[in-house]
Structure 1
């Protein structure tokens, strides 16, 4: 058994697709398939079920996956310890928010590449927002991720980056659009456009309503926060978003919200992150913390 076999196994387990897994590990699909078969022979059991419907982990595969991730993390840590003074190498997998309008994410990643050219970057969002990103870090699918939930995450390293107040977003023809500010009570009876359940901003807003003894109806849910102002402008409802995430849209107005609700943006990583992940956390703190 070697680490490359484990890398192939983890990639296929994450992607549930041999073609995508091969692209991820920069290997031919035949090489990945052969590596999985070799690992299964060595363990004496099947790790995947393969049929016309796709690829699925077997019960044994599910159990082995956590150990495979832990083994790869240990190997990565050993390499870090053996080469503390050398240039950073490897890969950093970062779970991102695609709608941080005042955060120059491409610029930050470009700066990281200039500082550490030997480190490859893998960036991507989660369809379930912060909740999904936290689980991806826990399971070892990501090294670092943005995090916007108001909850404490005790089993992960959490690094506070910045805070951003919520702002109300209303159609410009709305009767309240000309006010200097609006309250949650003003908007409670309106139809809402919001992120899906699990997104940090949705959780924070739901709790603010509950704390005031208010309820609301959310008939329109989106997985892309950046699109919410456009849907508000079309007349589907009102919204409230962290100021840091609002992309202006023609036909929508942005107003201060009462009471003030702060959204906290953090970065999370598993305990004892590798050197490259530590460097990424430091850079995020430098660049996002100054926004």
Structure 2
């Protein structure tokens, strides 16, 4: 039994004629007759009582089966549409991971536009640092992530898209606020607010410090990147934070540029190497993020 045969049966009932059904289905009449004979054989019952060559009526079994066939065809058509949309990337569920500040400052607006264009695609967003997101991708718990580059040697594919530029965020009362831009030496003697040891931004900062001459600083660890600016507001120290997160400066704080390429972080799209290129809805979202974030 296939959907074409069911539609033929429904067309016969709708038009009350084998000939008219054949015309509507673009079949020869013998094809329609053979389809109904095959259907009755498969079901083991007579569906149509043929009184003569032109007139017929449904048997009781035919009436019952016709009612059921309407639901069957509708369900099959819906399933076909869903599978077609799934294959083309028009529907599905995409699980993505994201680090801060991208997750809070860049992603919401992009996802809002994407989901307006593709309302049948459901998206789940998981926040974590790059090492944790890498593990979840390898375990198959995430389709891909928007984060910094992973450690070398992992079974992951990373595509860089943009650089997160850092600035110095400080209280307006700090003497360094009198300068227009800063160097590493300017930060000596000032407390630096830093993120946790597992944070890629913290590691990048430490590498940059070492490259400038192994300068040591007084530090205070704050476990959340997004919380740093509130600690700066309270006068607890200076934070080197992504520019997108610092602007505009909140009350009581000010922003200063860092000279040269003192610190920046490359961010991009990360997925399992064996899963690249992504398929279906994941591919659709991946390509959309590529376009939006590399502009």
Q: Same fold (TM over 0.5)?
A: yes
Q: Is the 8 A contact 2:150 2:158 kept in 1?
A: no
**What is the CA–CA distance in structure 1 between the aligned matches of 2:137 and 2:103, rounded to whole Å?**
24
Write the deviation string for residues 224-275 of structure 1: whole angstroms up to 9, x where unpaired: x222122112111111112133253211111011342222111111122332
Tell which deviates more after alignment, 260-269 or 151-160.
Answer: 151-160
2:125 alignment partner, one of 120, 123, 126: 123
**What is the CA–CA distance in structure 2 between the aligned matches of 1:95 and 1:241, rounded to whole Å?**
21
Q: Is the 8 A contact 1:195 1:202 kept in 2?
A: yes
Q: What TM-score, normalized to structure 2?
A: 0.63
Q: Show the counterpart of 1:139.
A: 139
**What is the CA–CA distance in structure 1 between the aligned matches of 2:271 and 2:142, rounded to whole Å?**
8
Where do residues 164-243 of structure 1 align in structure 2 (5 Å cutoff)? 164-212=164-212, 213-223=214-224, 225-243=225-243
Q: Could you tell me how far 1:208 is from its partner in structure 2?
A: 0.3
Q: Show the counterpart of 2:283.
A: 278
Q: Could you tell me how far 1:83 is from its partner in structure 2?
A: 7.9
Q: What TM-score, normalized to structure 1?
A: 0.63
- Does residue 265 (structure 1) correspond to residue 270 (structure 2)? The answer is no
Q: Which has the larger radius of gyration?
A: 2
Measured at CA, do residues 214 and 111 of structure 1 come closer, stay the same or move farther in structure 2, by a change above 3 Å?
Answer: same
Q: Could you tell me how far 1:176 is from its partner in structure 2?
A: 1.0
Q: Could you tell me how far 1:117 is from its partner in structure 2?
A: 2.8
Measured at CA, do residues 133 and 214 of structure 1 come closer, stay the same or move farther in structure 2, by a change above 3 Å?
Answer: same
Write the deviation string for residues 28-77 of structure 1: whole angstroms up to 9, x where unpaired: xxxxxxxxxxxxxxxxxxxxxxxxxxxxxxxxxxxxxxxxxxxxxxxxxx
Aligned residues: 208
**What is the CA–CA distance in structure 1 between the aligned matches of 2:215 and 2:260, rounded to whole Å?**
13
Q: Could you tell me how far 1:221 is from its partner in structure 2?
A: 1.2
Q: Is the 8 A contact 1:233 1:250 kept in 2?
A: yes
**What is the CA–CA distance in structure 2 between the aligned matches of 1:151 and 1:86, rounded to whole Å?**
33
Please state whether the residue corresponding to 1:267 is helix, strand or coil: strand
**What is the CA–CA distance in structure 2 between the aligned matches of 1:110 and 1:186, rounded to whole Å?**
41
Q: Is the 8 A contact 1:169 1:252 kept in 2?
A: yes
**What is the CA–CA distance in structure 1 between the aligned matches of 2:156 and 2:115, rounded to whole Å?**
25
CA RMSD of aligned residues (A): 2.7
Write the deviation string for residues 75-111 of structure 1: whole angstroms up to 9, x where unpaired: xxxxxx9988545333111112353399542222123
| Gaps in structure 2 of 5+ consecutive residues | 1-82
Q: Could you tell me how far 1:144 is from its partner in structure 2?
A: 1.4
Q: Show the counterpart of 1:44.
A: none
